[in-house]
Amino acid sequence: MDKIIIKGGRRLEGRIPISGAKNSALTLLPCALLTDEPLTLRNLPRLADVDGFGHLLNQLGVSTMIEGARPEDFGRVMTLRAGRLTSTVAPYDMVRKMRASILVLGPLLARAGEATVSLPGGCAIGNRPIDLHLKALEALGAEIELTAGYVRAVAPKGGLRGGHINFPVVSVGATENALMTAVLAKGTTVIDNAAREPEIVDLCRCLVAMGASIEGIGSEKLTIHGKDRLHGATYRVMPDRIEAGSYACAAAITGGSVDLVGANAEDMTAILDMLVQTGAHVEVKGDVIHVSASGRLKPVNISTAPYPAFPTDMQAQFMAMLALADGVSVLTETIFENRYMHVPELARMGADIQVTGRSAVVRGVDKLVGAPVMATDLRASMSLILAGLVAEGETQVSRVYHLDRGYERLEEKLQAVGADIERVGSD
C-alpha cells in the first residue's frame, strides 16, 4: 500500500485550487436515479469515493460518461443517465466500502417503488445508525423491513405520499434521503429540524434544477411539493469547504501565506472565525481566501455542532494546529462519539493531548517530531499530514487510501506551495 512521506519545516506559499465538494458530490450523484433523463454534474472531484459511487450506480443500471477531463485538470464532468433501472439492490460489498451508499435508498424507493440496501454498520468514527433515514421514509408511507443485514423499503400501493418528518437529531444524510424521496412523493412533505449544511443547499438547488419544488432552502424547515416526474439538468458541484479549511490550516500551521482559489468563504464562517481566533490572518476577495500566519498560534476552545457551527469534519485538523499553540485548548466533539482516533498518533509525534469523554485537552508543545503514523479515517489522516508539515524530520503516513477518498491529488497541491511531500509505493 502507498505511503505519504513528508519532511517537515517548509513554509507554504502560493495558490491551492479548491476542488468540488466530496460530500456534495455524494448526494448529487444519486439524484441521477430520480429521472430517466441525463443529469450532468460539473466540477466533480476526482476521488475514490466518487468513482465508487459511480460504480454502484452502474450496478443499478445508470450509465456514466466522463467528458472532456484532461489528466492535468482538477475536477471533471460526468453525465449520468438512469434510462431504465436494472436493479434496486445496493450490495454489502459496495456499502461496506462507502457509507454514503445509503443515499441510494431514498431515490431508488422514490423512482422504482422499492429499494434494498445493505446496512452500513459501524465505522471508525462511531456507531453511525441509520434509524433517522428509515423513520423519514416511513413518514412518507414506506414499509421498512430489516433482514439478513439488509434494509428493504417498499412504497405502499398508490405510491409514496407527502408527510411530516420531524428529526429529533440533526442528520445530514437522513435529511438528504428524505429530500430525494419527497420530491417524487404525492403531495406536500414538511421536514422539521432539517440539516442546514451547505451540501444540503447544494442538493436542494440541484433538485430544483431538475424540476423539484422546495421551499425554505437553507433553513431548518423544508417544504417539498412532490412532482410526478423530474427532468434532466446540468449542475455544478459547490467548492469543498472542508478541503479549503484543511489547506487553510496547512497555511497557518506552517506560518505560511496561501491563496485558496475557487473557495466559498460564505460556507466557511465558523472555520474562518476560529482561524482568526488562533491569530491567523484571513482575507477574502471573491472566490479567493488568503490565509497567512506568523509565530505561534493562540489556543482556542472549540465545540463541534451542526452547521452553521464548527464542523466535526474540521476537528482533527484544528487539533493538529492547536498541538503547537501557545497554551491550552479544549476541543469538544458533540457529533460523533469516537472521533479522536488521531490523538494517539499525534501523541507519537510529541503532542500533549488528553481525552476525557467527548472533550480533548490540548496543551501546546514547542515542537512535533516526525514519526511513522497511520489513521483510521479521512480527516484524522489529514491532521497527521498537517502535523507532518511542521514536524522535525520525516513523517510517514500510511493507509493513504483514506486520503484518496476525500482529498483530490493532495500531494500535488501541497508540493505546488512548497511542501516536501511525496507518495511512495510500499513493497
For every residue of 223-256, DSSP letters joined together read EEE--S----EEEEPPB-HHHHHHHHHHHHHTT-
334/396 with CB nearer ligand UD1: 334
User: What contacts 123, CB < 8 A, 6 or more positions away?
Assistant: 99, 377
Does 128 bind ligand UD1 (CB under 6 A)? Our answer is yes
Query: In sequence order, what E strands does 8-50 have?
Result: 13-17, 39-44
- The one catalytic residue among 123, 204, 206, 249: 123
User: Is 53 a binder of ligand UD1 (CB under 6 A)?
Assistant: no
Per CB under 6 A, contacts with ligand UD1 among 309-368 are 311-313, 335-336
Q: Is 115 a binder of ligand UD1 (CB under 6 A)?
A: no
Q: How far apart are CA 134 and CA 121, in angstroms?
A: 14
The reply to whether 263 sits near ligand UD1 by the rule CB under 6 A is no
> Which residues have C-beta within 8 Å of that of residue 73, sequence separation ≥ 6?
none
Shortest separation between residue 158's beta carbon and ligand UD1, angstroms: 27
Interface with ligand UD1 includes 173 (CB under 6 A)?
yes
Quick one: 125 exposed, middle or buried, by C-beta within 10 A (0-12, 13-18, 19+)? buried
The runs of H, that is alpha helices, within 290-418 are 315-322, 343-348, 378-390, 401-406, 410-415
Nearer to ligand UD1, 81 or 133 (CB): 133
Whether 206 is catalytic is no
Q: Of 6, 104, 117, 172, which one interacts with ligand UD1 (CB under 6 A)?
A: 172
With contacts defined by CB under 6 A, name the span among 11-19, 60-68, 148-156, 165-173 that binds ligand UD1: 165-173
Residues 277-316: x where in contact with ligand UD1 by CB under 6 A, - otherwise, as a string: ----------------------------------xxx---
Give the C-alpha separation, 188 to 226, whole Å.
Answer: 6
Number of Cα atoms under 13 Å in the Cβ half of residue 37? 9
Least separation in angstroms between residue 360's CB and ligand UD1 is 17
Eight-class DSSP state of 216? S
Taking alpha carbons only, the member of 385, 414, 400, 408 closest to residue 72 is 408
Beta partners for residue 147, in sequence order: 150
Question: Binding of ligand UD1 at residue 26 (CB under 6 A)?
Answer: yes
Number of residues this chain uses to bind ligand UD1 (CB under 6 A): 19
Is 4 a residue that touches ligand UD1 (CB under 6 A)?
no
Q: Which is nearer to ligand UD1, 196 or 413 (CB)?
A: 196
**Residue 132 found at the interface with ligand UD1 (CB under 6 A):** yes
Q: Would you please indicate which residues are annotated as catalytic (active-site) residues? A: 123
Q: Which residues of this protein are in contact with ligand UD1, per CB under 6 A? A: 23, 26, 100, 128-133, 169, 171-174, 311-313, 335-336
